[in-house]
Structure 1
Amino acid sequence: MNKWIASILFILVLFSCKTRKTVEQSTEGKDSIQVEKPKNDKPIDVGENVYDPVTFYEKVYIHPQFEALKISSKITSDDIKVSPLDATIYIETDKKIFASINFLFINAARALITPEGIKAMDKYNKNYIDSDFDYLNNLLNVNFIDYKNLENLLIGRTFLTIKGRNSRLTQNMQGYQLASISNIKIETGETTREYKIVLQYSPDYDLIQAKLQDANSDDSLEILYDGWETYQNEIRLPKNVKIIIKGSKNSQILLENTKFDFSRMDTRYSVPSSYKKIEIQ
């Protein structure tokens, strides 16, 4: 059990490079987690063009705001031998994401993500990471994750903008589909990648599926949302978030959000001097 904690960090989208190989070997030959996709996640047939898209764009890009959100969640992953795990994910809008992972009621790992970067510590193995978002993008096989995109991804809000002449918005009985007509080029630092992007929404404008396919490789990232409910101030949040990574890396992660609380919480994070820093390569 001395290595399973490191895989928890991936659930926070923070996998440790040093221990990932060991975790994958420990699950070799094991079936991936079997989690049903949302009932409404089947591809939407191309419908009629939406000739008045203003309301659609307002609904999917402009949302009621909150200052703080605490999510109680159970996490299942085919990279974790012991699951589901109990997690608390706390968000202060535009400021920080704090996460705490418990195993058998013992706090085993913590993470703190801010616009400046990512910090996480593994209390079992007594080590930690301190990195920027390049690390996270490499783990997910993408290059567009920054703080705000991650925050939006976790709560089911549209995390990429597709508008203008390079997009097609259609509607039918199943809802809406917003897709890139040609590949979307995303430049971050010295890295440039192109993606085919398809976003599916329910008739009520809830994000159901986001799929990004790399134009020059088999790498893809898919996020599925369901169980949408309305909370205070008309805030819509999903009960289930499933992340599927395919290509040069393969993984599936399911977050089952059991409770949403809009109160503030303590986000104490400090690394003991005896902990060893994991160098990112």
Structure 2
Amino acid sequence: MTANASAETPVTLLGLGAMGTALARTWLAAGHPLTVWNRTAARAEPLVAEGAKVADGAAEAVAASTLVIVCLLDDASVAAALDGIDLTGKDLVNLTTTTPAEARARAAWAEERGARYLDGGIMAVPPMIGIPEAGGYVFYSGSRELFELHRESLAVPVGTTYVGEDAGFAALHDVALLSAMYGMFAGVTHAFALIRRENIDPVAFAPLLVNWIQAMVDPSVEQTARQLVSGDLTTDVVSNLAMQVAGTKTLLATAEEQGVSAELIQPQFALMRRLLATSTGEEDLTGTVDLLLR
């Protein structure tokens, strides 16, 4: 096998939940010989008509292909599925959502058993799989050589982004982006709660909210990154920390007036007040990043 393995590379896939099934169908449609296994065997049956071979057990599935993709519930599920199975000479690609520490430990575990290892963090939901214009992709980390070897096969279901030799980096990128997403959802939830009892159409309000978030996020995230690298937290600041902390009083008072709990936004405001207590107030919010480090 050479770098950028061909579209006919045999693939084994362990795990046929919603994501695993979506992945399976894209490899089948692209002409890959596909062997699948799932703990609940009935999930594999619909794929037989599409050309998949269903293995009687995980060991049989692993033996069928050099490239073995794992997409299970969690790291414990991976350990259980592969327990006692010979992985010698296998290229193990783990797309299971895990922590960075779990990914690093799983990489060492795989290497001890004679396998090469890549960890992956899927930045997509099942309906995005196989649809390039949907914008989904997978973070990959671990062996660069292994990534390049299977890049074309891995790119069949969704785009690929390699983030480093450290096997934990894919999971770290994955969780960092997901954490930002949930923080954003917290703000969106609070905003809708504020208007919930009023004669304001949420559907009409939604594009205003989307446009505002986009307008604020694009420059803010880039500036935060630059400031973290340079260490200069005061250059090009538009709304300084002191001004923003003062403004939180109005936000909290409005929540009180509207009968809305401030539990989703209070933690950020508390962090801002902590930063102000130890600074001149001329910087923006970048300093709160290091306050979170323990």
The TM-score, its normalising length taken from structure 1, stands at 0.25
Instruction: Select the structure that is richer in strand.
Output: 1
Larger Cα-atom Rg: 2
Give 1 or 2: higher helix fraction. 2
Higher RCO, 1 or 2 (CA under 8 Å, sep at least 6)? 1
TM-score, scaled relative to structure 2: 0.24
